[in-house]
Chain A
Amino acid sequence: MNDRFNLYRFASPATFYPLAGRLIPWFIAAGILFGLAGLYIGMLVAPTDFQQGEGYRIIFIHVPTSWMSMFIYLVMAFWAAIGLAFNTRLSGMMAQALAPTGALMAFLSLWTGALWGKPMWGTWWVWDARLTSELILLFLYIGYMALVAAIDDARRADKAGGILLLVGVVNIPIIYFSVKWWNTLHQGSSVNLTKSAMAEVMLWGMLLMALAFWMYSIAVALARVRTLMLERERHTDWVRKTLVGDEQ
């Protein structure tokens, strides 16, 4: 009984708003720390890759951004499911706050992929299964953001966006496998993506960078959700108090 009460308390914007505000600096600090450590290992300590030369160092942002772009979509779908099942106000706002960062990660993954592809494969873009799926993921993000932006009523925007996210998350594996299958059918073996066994130090650099991107995404999403909360709940007492308190 007590647990239930706490859960609801946490899910209420009035409690979550100050909590998020207190958490953001910690996530920023953690992000900077992980980022510096990751960059130090990845850019300064890690030896060159004997197959790809120094160009492989793009991996330290390419792989983390790709992971984050997929992970954020899954988290958004998770919030969407919670929101549709329990009708919580916070869930839709969380999904909305995450979307731009997820889209940015997908874009960065494509951008770094292109810059990696040019020296390695001799072309900016290949219709490789992973690159193509990433592009489609970016389209899914854009579709979600466009839908949410087009709906004026916040409750409807949350729910409609939630359904789209769930439909998208069911479709992602289907899209991925069909693209992969299409790719193996059409592409000769000219592009070989097999990576050389990675040295342990490279793996560490990549993991630290992934953590840095993760912390960054959380911090930005929390900051965004705080603004959304003020906007959405502007007629409630807690927002009035927060705004007035801010002024003094």
Chain B
Amino acid sequence: MLKIVTSVIARDLKLAMRRQADIVSALFFFVIVVSLFPLGIGPEVDLLRQLAPGVLWVAALLATMLSLPRLFADDYRDGTLEQLALSPHPLGLIVTGKVIAHWLVSGLPLALIAPILGIQFDLSGEALLVLTGAILLGTPALSGIGAIGAALTLGLRGGGVLLSLLVLPLYIPVLIFGAGAVDATVSGLGGEGHLSLLTAMTFAAIGFAPWASAAALKIALE
């Protein structure tokens, strides 16, 4: 059971490595969006420090969205997805592997680069640590929920915009607790509560979302 998940992860990572430009583009999108905010708002450090958690998280949501349409699209086009759906392994497990692979190439890099961007906003060391942790813990949920949207919009015209319409409202709890963790740390309340709720959401999303996505994929393949 675990083997099918790991082999899907390995395969998707290998494919992603052939298209490193995509990963880098999403990362730069994240960097640019975050850097635009001070230009729009002004350089007051106090204000920026207050806005930083929200800005970084919203940018992270958008950057995750960018890579979602391709989550199933390539496999759908070349028929691999049909093969996977016909294989004896449950499609939900295969999607779990794809979700984890998606997180490894989208969420994880965001978490690694976020502290550098946080410095632009004059966040304290502790806040940077919590920010990284929150993005690490929260982005798997984004990949999971996003997979449902990607599966539902598979092969549709205007799929990318539609996907964001479907998925962004569902991202709100992650945004609230992700940004809230950093906020709470900055204001001295401690972000542990937020982080544990984020973890709970991630586990729930990784547990349930692949099965909903699998159901949506079966519909798309009919």
Which A residues lie at the B interface, using CB under 8 A? 84, 136, 139-140, 142-143, 146-147, 150-151, 155-156, 159-160, 163-164, 166-168, 170-171, 174-175, 178-179, 181-182, 185
Contact = CB atoms under 8 A, between A and B. Distances in A.
Contacts of B220: 156, 160
Main secondary structure of the interface of B (DSSP, over half): helix
B91 interface: no
8 contacts: A150-B159, A163-B212, A164-B148, A164-B166, A171-B170, A175-B170, A178-B173, A179-B172
Nearest to A135: B169
Given A156-B220, A167-B212, A175 B172 contact: yes
B50 to A, nearest CB: 11
A167 B162 contact: no
B165 interface: yes
Contact of A136 (B156, B162, B166, B172): B172
B69 to A, nearest CB: 13
A139 B166 CA distance: 8
Contacts, number: 69
Contacts of B78: none
B219 A150 contact: no
Contact of B152 (A163, A174, A178, A179): A163
Given A136-B172, A171-B170, 11 more contacts: A143-B166, A147-B165, A150-B158, A150-B159, A156-B219, A160-B152, A163-B148, A164-B148, A166-B212, A167-B170, A167-B212
Top 5 closest pairs, chain A to chain B, by CB: A178-B173, A139-B169, A159-B219, A143-B166, A182-B176
A160 B219 contact: yes
B176 A167 contact: no
A156 B153 CA distance: 11
Contact of A156 (B165, B177, B222): B222
A168 B170 contact: yes
A7 to B, nearest CB: 25
Given A160-B219, A164-B152, A143 B169 contact: yes
B162 A146 contact: yes
B20 to A, nearest CB: 31
Given A150-B158, A167-B212, A185-B180, A143 B165 contact: yes
A150 B168 CA distance: 18
Interface in B144-172: 148, 152-153, 156-159, 162, 165-166, 168-170, 172
A150 B149 CA distance: 13
Contacts of B158: 150
B207 to A, nearest CB: 12
A140 B216 CA distance: 17
Interface residues of B, number: 27
Contacts of B201: 174
Contacts of B166: 143, 146-147, 164
Contacts of A146: 162, 165-166
B215 interface: yes
B212 A150 contact: no
A133 to B, nearest CB: 10
A179 B215 contact: no
Interface string B121-164: 00000000000000000000000000010001100111100100
A163 B156 CA distance: 16
Nearest to A140: B169
Interface in B73-122: none
A159 B219 CA distance: 7
Interface in B178-222: 180, 183, 201, 208, 212, 215-216, 219-220, 222
A87 to B, nearest CB: 12
Contacts of B183: 185
B157 A150 contact: yes
Nearest to A132: B172
